[in-house]
Structure 1
Amino acid sequence: MYVVLLTYTAPLEEVDLALPDHAKWLEKHFQAGEFLAAGRRNPRNGGVIITRPMARGKLDAILATDPFSVGHLASYEVVEFAATRTAPEVRLLNEAIAQSA
């Protein structure tokens, strides 16, 4: 799994112009089953995406197509982790635990 931390590198006015396209991009990857959660950071200086496990190269390719990336509006920090504990509500989404259980 990955946690992707987006940090805006452009003024919010520019980010807001790209927001509808970014929302469509997010929806595409939720529909494909690649993203588990996404939302704004507080304070509003970027966002967070939690993904399913995948090859890092695939994730990098997905992130490169984000309108925020294409428009040079955000930078990305990718943190890979293997969740060894989850709440019962999330357990079915956690492939790492489901395969070892």
Structure 2
Amino acid sequence: MIKYQIYKKYRLPITINPLNYGKLMLHLAEINFYIIYINSTNLAFITKFDLYNEIKFYTKGDLIFEFKDHKIDDTSFVRSIENNKYTFKNNKLIEVNKIIDSFKIKM
């Protein structure tokens, strides 16, 4: 069962696997690009690389934000959204870092 992170009222799947985001609509294997239908209003455009994914999150056809998921190991990854970094391990949030004016604040 996929758990979710709530970010700006949107439910983001806590996973680095594009296929766990929702229903696969399109996969271009030669460039590792996925379009995933998350729910009736949200889509994720995901480009998968060896150690990270670039995700563009759309709602009702509008780009809301972009983020990256950086793989640490098979059970951990760091999600970078805007000036925030979230570390997940075994599908649980374990650390939040906020970057403000080049200062790093650990919460």
Q: Which has the higher contact order (CA 8 A, sep 6+)?
A: 1
Greater helix share, structure number: 1
Greater strand share, structure number: 2
**TM-score normalised per structure 2:** 0.28
